[in-house]
Each structure stands twice: as C-alpha cells, then as structure tokens.
Amino acid sequence: MNVLIAGKTPSPLEPIIRGSGCNVIQCFEKVDLELLDKKAVDFMVSYGYRFVISRSIVKFLHMKAINLHISFLPWNRGADPNLWSFLEDTPKGVSIHYIDEGLDTGDIIVQKEVVFDVDCETLATTYQKLSNEIVGLFSQNWRNIIHARISGKKQPPGGSFHRLADKRRFDYLLAKKGWNTPVKELVGKAL
C-alpha cells in the first residue's frame, strides 16, 4: 500500500507507517489528483499540512484520508489550535479524524485530552507535548486505522474555528517572548 504523508518533512510518522509494511511518499507541496494518480496513492495522512485539501481529493480518497490535529476537536479547528486553546480556555488535546469537505470537521477516529500545568508551561513546551502525544496516538492506532478496524464518530456540536488572520489581534501578547510566552499569560485573554 502506498501512503502519502502530506506535511512537514521529514515526518516523524514515516517510520511508523513503514513499520506497518506500507510504502511512504512525503509531500510538503500542495497535493493534487495528478500526484495521487502518478504515485498510486492508496491512503493519505495529513500532519502539519498548510493547504486546504480539495473536494476532488476528498472524493477520490473517500475514507482513506486522515488528519492529525493538535486540538481536542471540535475545539480549535483551523489555524493555531494550541494558542487558541489557551486564549479561549478550551479543552486541550489531540485528535485524529477523517478528512471531509470541511476544515477539521471530519469524523473523529481517536482523540486524547491533555492537561497542562499552566504555571510551568510555555506555548513552545505545550506544542512539543501535543506533538509527542499525537505521534504516540498515531503509533498506537495506525494499524487499526489502515485496516479500517476503527469507526469514526461524528464530532459533537459546537467547538470553535480560527483562521491565521484571527491571531493578529493577539500578536501583542506574543511580542516579547514569542512561542516562549508562558501560557498563564494567555489563559482566557480572548474571552
């Protein structure tokens, strides 16, 4: 089976996917149907991918395309989920979901809530912990996902969605320390 990893390269998912006997194709650029056809892609895993996946790709890879998202869906769909989980004081965690025509709206395959000690963490440390958690969750569940042994469940109503531009009005909070900003300085600032 040929599995496309769409997102940052090198991907920490590559050894997990190869270890399951699959061939891996990595791509950081925008994925299109021509690439899927040329590389004979059977399954797609999106992780850290910055492009919206087109309706034609979703249709082509029906239920064979998943996304790894560092939020506890339905909270913080879209951009900067870690930041928004503190700004809006919403649940924090990681989710693996099927890709559908919406943005981070597909059925949830597995997810894990993550709790942080806000007195000891920064945006950078929480991001790293969420990244480790999502890779661990993927590793534990990949074989069941690829063999369709886990059914997705609809996301509950509600939650939140953010675009890259939404962060601009809070840039002043990150001006001095950037991603090393203590999260306790951010909790609830967007409420």
- Residue 104, domain member (yes or no): yes
How many domains does the chain divide into? 1
Q: For the domain that residue 61 is a member of, what is the CATH number?
A: 3.40.50.12230
pLDDT exceeds 90 at position 47? yes
- Residue 190, domain member (yes or no): no
- Residue 45, domain member (yes or no): yes
Range of the domain at 7: 2-185
- Residue 191, domain member (yes or no): no
pLDDT tens, residue by residue, 149-187: 998 999 999 999 999 999 999 999 999 999 999 999 999
- Count the helices and strands in the chain (H runs, E runs): 6, 8
- Residue 165, domain member (yes or no): yes
- Residue 91, domain member (yes or no): yes
- Residue 69, domain member (yes or no): yes
pTM, rounded to two decimals: 0.96
Find the distance separating the first CA and the last CA of the chain, reported in whole Å.
46
